[in-house]
Structure 1
């Protein structure tokens, strides 16, 4: 699996298809995050913007190989392993982007409440922001796994489907991503930072289940 992950990472880097989602996330963060703003609000905004980016990165990774190269890799390692490596590469890219964004927000944000009156422990706030980013990356991975090949092969269905489901996963009541982001915003009003461990566990289950479904379909369909 390590060799497959390396292979997928090299494909991703050389394709330069990571650049549009990266620029999109940078634009989202630039619009919603300013130096001196309450750090918890900024963490919530940056994490929310990561969910569609994670889905986008997973789509890039699972569609990056030419069919002939994918068939060769599947013949050697098995189609489900190749597909799993693609999904994991997209997830890892999103997690790295989320970690970098969290570090930037922690450096420029104001560790106080929304009214700038109550101090917020920066370490706890940064951990809450990082975990929320991970929640959004995991849920975005689930969306990317379900809305692209091998379950949806047509670009006409996969691209709008990925976009719509990503925003639904972010905005729908009961979504772990919405719960985690809302927790940061609510905590900003009271000056308390709570790490969304429950949302993380639920998001991990969603990502694992969606990936398992996609890998099983990949093994059947090639």
Structure 2
């Protein structure tokens, strides 16, 4: 698995497909993060939203690194286990998001003047990880393994992203943002956001299973 993750990292760096989602993340952070003060949850909601969109695009890019012929070679080289190759791509996306999470945690603190508590930092980690997992799940489902036509994949990804962001009360993303924008005390949010984090992990597991099922039938 480690070798496959290293291969995926090396390929995405060589092809530079990480640049567009990375620039999008940096741009959204610059636009959404303001030089503010007061409670931190709304600021971390902005960081989580930026990571959500970035993780979706990055995962789609990672899942589309290899054409079908090259993917078949990678699967054979990994012992014929296509699930292992899929999990390596998911792991690569998750590790990349963990690096971006550090920036998402520190950038609002650098720009603003906040009274930071441990609960604020924990909430920031939970919020960003929740959005990253949902973004990765959407990226996996809307990859080439499921949608052979890029146009259909793009429409599906946009529909899922828009639904997750704007469908009122929809867990975990919209519900998370609603809680963080209306509850200033981070300590009061830790329990409900933990539940949303678990929901996002289950969603990623389900979408990964569906993607593997579709890909295995085609292969």
Query: What is the TM-score normalised by the length of structure 2?
Result: 0.89
Query: Structure 1 regions of 5+ residues with no counterpart?
Result: 113-120
1:61 corresponding residue in structure 2: 62
1:45 corresponding residue in structure 2: 46
2:4 corresponding residue in structure 1: 4
Report how many aligned residue pairs link the two structures: 213
Q: Equivalents in 2 of 1:45, 1:165: separation in Å? A: 19
Q: How does 1:31-180 map to 2 (within 5 A)?
A: 31-38=31-38, 39-77=40-78, 78-111=81-114, 121-172=116-167, 173-180=169-176
Task: Please give the root-mean-square deviation of Cα atoms over the aligned residues, in Å.
Answer: 1.8
Greater displacement, 97-106 / 57-66 = 97-106
Q: Equivalents in 2 of 1:33, 1:221: separation in Å? A: 44
SS of 1:103's equivalent in the other structure is: helix
CA separation of 1:108 and 1:27: change in aligned 2, threshold 3 A: same
Greater displacement, 64-73 / 12-21 = 64-73
- Contact 1:102–1:129 at 8 Å: present in 2 too? yes
Q: Equivalents in 2 of 1:151, 1:214: separation in Å? A: 6
Query: Runs ≥4 in structure 1, deviation > 4 angstroms?
Result: 190-193
2:26 corresponding residue in structure 1: 26
- Contact 1:58–1:145 at 8 Å: present in 2 too? yes
Q: Equivalents in 1 of 2:166, 2:95: separation in Å? A: 23
Query: Structure 2 regions of 5+ residues with no counterpart?
Result: none
1:193 shift after superposition: 5.3
Q: Equivalents in 1 of 2:138, 2:206: separation in Å? A: 11
Q: Equivalents in 2 of 1:76, 1:198: separation in Å? A: 39
